[in-house]
Amino acid sequence: MIEKRVIRFVADLQPKQYKQIVSKILSLQENPRPQDCTKLERYKGGYRVDSGEYRILYTIDDKEQLVTVWRVGLRNDSRVYRGL
């Protein structure tokens, strides 16, 4: 599942970044815990993974086999973690 604000954010990106991020999000459905993912300390059940210069934040519900992408932002921008 992808939240609406993520869809809006990604839709405004350049085609190269759009393709890169969408590809990474889709790969999370097959492997929600890739080798380059990191568990978030301040957000229970949250993970992050990098895709180029962007960071993807998501949660995993193993019981329902559901990955929810709830935020995408620039890696060097602390706003991606605001509100955790």
Label residue 75 by pLDDT band (50, 70, 90).
Answer: confident
Distance between CA atoms of 84 and 82, rounded to whole angstroms?
6
* Average pLDDT, rounded, for the chain: 91
Backbone angles phi, psi at 4, to 5 degrees: -60, -40
Architecture of domain 4-81: 2-Layer Sandwich (3.30)
pLDDT, tens digit (0-9, with 9 covering 90-100), for 19-42: 999 999 999 999 999 999 999 988
81 secondary structure, DSSP code:
G
Distance between CA atoms of 76 and 34, rounded to whole angstroms?
21
pLDDT score of 66 more than 70:
yes
pLDDT, tens digit (0-9, with 9 covering 90-100), for 40-55: 988 888 999 999 999 9
Q: Report pLDDT for 84.
A: 61
Give domain limits for the chain: 4-81
